[in-house]
Amino acid sequence: MNNKSPGLEQHLENIDVPEVKPLHHQQQLKLTILNAKKSATISLWLLVIPFIVLFGGLMQSAFHVMLPPWSWLVKYSPLMPLWLRLAIFVSVVIVLPLIAVFINVLGILWFKYDKAEHVLQIAVRMHRTNIIIITIAGILALLFIGHTITEWITNG
């Protein structure tokens, strides 16, 4: 055994020691707020309500058919105070689409913070479904915002 130990010691001394790189997870924080697929699903459910109201309004004006959500608004809105009617309108046709846009934007953004350099990097992961939902929800919200501003300007 004594004959083998000096050779073993010499062999172990000649082994190259690998360099250990510092762990990056302690230096960087990667964060995605929402999953893109989940945010698309949540946003679609949020957009169903304004589309039902819009569809009811279009059916009433085009075919004189009163569908339930629209018929309830037409029937009970004269009984409601003005602030409540305005709150229902703003929340259904402006706020819900804007929330859908916000949720989808959070779903496609990827945040990476480097502690060593004090840098926040923001990347956009392009998902076709999320981009389509952002576009539709944004157009819907802007359509009703424009309608509200036009009504306000014309004192209608």
Any domain includes 23: no
Q: Note whether residue 84 is domain-resident.
A: yes
Cα(94)–Cα(148) distance, integer angstroms: 10
> Can you give the residue range of the structural domain that contains 105?
28-153
* DSSP collapsed to 3 states, 45-95: HHHHHHHHHHHHHHHHHHHCCCCHHHHHHHHHHHHCCHHHHHHHHHHHHHH
11 in a domain, yes or no?
no
**141: which residues sit within 8 A by CB, 6+ positions away?**
93, 94, 97, 98, 101
Q: Tens digit of pLDDT per residue, the chain (156 long)? A: 455 566 778 877 788 777 766 655 555 556 667 788 888 999 999 999 988 988 888 888 889 888 888 888 889 988 999 899 889 888 988 899 999 999 999 888 888 888 888 888 888 888 899 999 999 999 988 888 888 888 888 876
Position 6 in a domain = no
Domain annotation covers residue 15: no
Q: How many structural domains are present in the chain?
A: 1
What is the Cα–Cα distance from 28 to 35, expressed in whole angstroms?
A: 20
**Residue 22 within a domain:** no
